[in-house]
């Protein structure tokens, strides 16, 4: 709604409009009513009669009511923004809820002042409600999902999340209908809030920012597998981002066809600094340590035995 931005102008205009409304209600505009509230200036629609005087009075009432509503809405927004313990996403959503509630109350008050019987709107509102119910199912579902996310506090601005469809990125904005995700490669994806409720979502930074990195590797059967394990653990511990607690772990995972397979686990403090870069650097270090210590990383090899068909052998014997 259009309203003055300055604090003084806002209240001054409200005072003027309020004064006019008060004088009007006390009958000081009787002369205007005498000339404007006549049959010649009356518009008849069915059983309703609308005069110019009634229209001006209704217009003034509506302007004042919605102006007051705008001021109350601004006051509500400032009070919500001043709540330091509330998350940014929660503030935005509660601001929307407060605005919706305030304007609904204002709308009902306006109808009452204009003399419109609310019971006459029951049938119409019921029909419209059924139509909107079918057409706005998803919107309602997303709105309720947004409320659930706020109550559960499972998402906040800045969280690093990974969705079921592979979307991986940061939560940049949260509204009553959707959430904006900025992926690692800079794409901005608008995700309906319902997706975070009905599907699996990994929040890498829900309670803390640390993350575990997994590296799979294999060594030759001819190698010293205990030494290979120790070198892999050493490579992880040498990395600057590797945490001391939890400790680095390396397990013998499988006796493969061509290699003895290991799995290495180590933790980094802040997932926001990246996972692939730390994993790559540790793998480079493992490769170098294995090469310097004669640890072979095998690759699959196959022996092919080619047999000649019997007909070819008979022809060769002939």
The CATH number assigned to the domain holding 266 equals 3.30.70.100
Domain-embedded: residue 298 = no
- pLDDT the model gives residue 135: 57
Q: Is 12 helix (H, G, I), strand (E, B) or coil?
A: helix
Inside any domain, residue 165:
yes
For residues 193 and 250, membership in a common domain is answered with no
For residues 18 and 91, membership in a common domain is answered with: yes
Count other C-beta atoms under 10 Å from residue 16's C-beta.
Answer: 10
Is residue 308 domain-resident?
no
Looking at the fold, whether 30 and 106 belong to one and the same domain comes out as: yes
Paired sense of beta strands 168-174 and 42-45, if any: unpaired
DSSP letter for 158, please: T
> Are both 52 and 108 inside the same structural domain?
yes
Asked, for residue 107, whether it belongs to a domain, the answer is: yes
Residue that is last in its domain, among 135, 170, 203: 203
The pLDDT, as a whole number, for residue 28 is 63
Distance CA 127, CA 278 (A): 60
Structural domain boundaries enclosing 161: 152-203
Residues sharing a CB contact under 8 Å with residue 242, sequence separation 6 or more, in sequence order: 236, 248, 266, 267, 268, 278, 282
In this structure, the answer to whether residues 89 and 171 fall within a common structural domain is no
Exposure letters 221-250 (e unless 16+ CB within 10 A, then b): eebeeeebbebbbebbeebebbbeeeebeb
Same domain, 13 and 96: yes
Mean pLDDT in order along the chain per 10 residues (318 residues): 56 69 67 62 59 70 74 78 69 72 77 63 57 64 78 82 89 83 88 90 87 93 93 95 93 91 94 90 96 88 66 56
The closest of 73, 60, 75 to 23, measured between CA atoms, is 60
Q: Are residues 24 and 111 in the same domain?
A: yes
Q: Which of 300, 302, 266 is nearest to 283 (CA)?
A: 266
First to last CA, the chain: 103
Q: In the block, which residue shows the tokens 């990383």?
A: 297
Same domain for 98 and 174? no
Q: What does the radius of gyration of the chain's CA atoms come to, in whole angstroms?
A: 36
* Largest pairwise CA distance in the chain: 133
**Pick from 116, 138, 168: which residue ends a domain?**
116
Residues 105 and 21 occupy one common structural domain:
yes
Same-domain check for residues 44 and 24:
yes
Instruction: Note whether residue 62 is domain-resident.
Output: yes
Whole-number Cα distances in Å, 7 to 21, 75, 116: 21, 11, 33
Over the stretch 117-159, which tens digit does the pLDDT of each residue have?
556 555 555 655 565 555 567 777 777 787 788 777 788 888 8
Count of domains for the chain: 3
Phi, psi for 42 (deg, rounded to 5): -115, 130
pTM for the complete prediction? Answer: 0.54
Would you say residue 249 lies in a domain? yes
Q: What phi, psi does 267 have (nearest 5°)?
A: -110, 145
Q: Would 111 be classed as within a structural domain? A: yes
pLDDT value, residue 119: 60
Q: What is the pLDDT of residue 92?
A: 67
48 vs 213: CA distance, rounded Å = 74
d(CA 138, CA 140): 5
- Number of Cβ within 10 Å of residue 143's Cβ equals 19
2 domain residue, yes or no: no
Distance CA 216, CA 265 (A): 9
Asked whether residue 184 falls in the same domain as residue 277, the answer is no
| Shared-domain flag, residues 162 and 236 | no
Break the chain down into helix, strand, coil percent, rounded to 5.
Answer: 50, 20, 30
């Amino acid at each position: 709604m259009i309203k003055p931005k300055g604090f003084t102008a806002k209240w001054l205009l409200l005072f003027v409009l309020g004064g006019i409304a008060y004088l009007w209600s006390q009958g000081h505009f009787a002369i205007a009513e005498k000339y404007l509230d006549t049959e010649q200036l009356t518009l008849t629609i069915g059983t309703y009669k609308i005069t110019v005087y009634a229209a001006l009075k209704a217009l003034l009432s509506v302007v004042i009511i919605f102006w007051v509503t705008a001021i109350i809405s601004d006051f509500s927004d400032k009070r919500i923004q001043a709540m330091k313990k509330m998350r940014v996403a929660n503030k935005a959503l509660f601001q929307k809820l407060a605005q919706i509630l305030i304007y609904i109350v204002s709308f009902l008050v306006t109808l009452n002042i204009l003399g419109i019987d609310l019971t006459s709107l029951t049938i119409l509102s019921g029909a419209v409600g059924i139509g909107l119910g079918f057409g706005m199912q998803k919107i309602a579902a997303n709105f309720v999902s947004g409320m659930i996310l706020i109550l559960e506090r499972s998402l906040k601005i800045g969280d690093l999340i990974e969705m079921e469809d592979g979307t991986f990125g940061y939560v940049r904005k949260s509204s009553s209908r959707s959430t904006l995700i900025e992926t690692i490669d800079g794409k901005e994806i608008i995700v309906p809030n319902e997706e975070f409720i009905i599907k699996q979502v990994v929040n890498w930074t829900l309670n803390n920012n640390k993350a575990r990195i997994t590296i799979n590797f294999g060594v030759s059967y001819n190698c010293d597998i205990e030494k290979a394990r120790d070198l892999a653990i050493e490579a992880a511990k040498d990395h600057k981002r590797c945490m001391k607690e939890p400790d680095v772990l390396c397990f013998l995972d499988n006796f493969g066809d061509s290699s003895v397979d290991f799995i290495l686990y180590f933790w980094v403090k802040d997932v926001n600094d990246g996972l692939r870069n730390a994993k790559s650097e540790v793998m480079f270090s493992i490769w170098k340590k294995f090469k310097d210590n004669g640890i072979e990383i095998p690759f699959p090899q196959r022996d092919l035995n080619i047999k000649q068909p019997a007909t070819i052998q008979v022809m060769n014997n002939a």
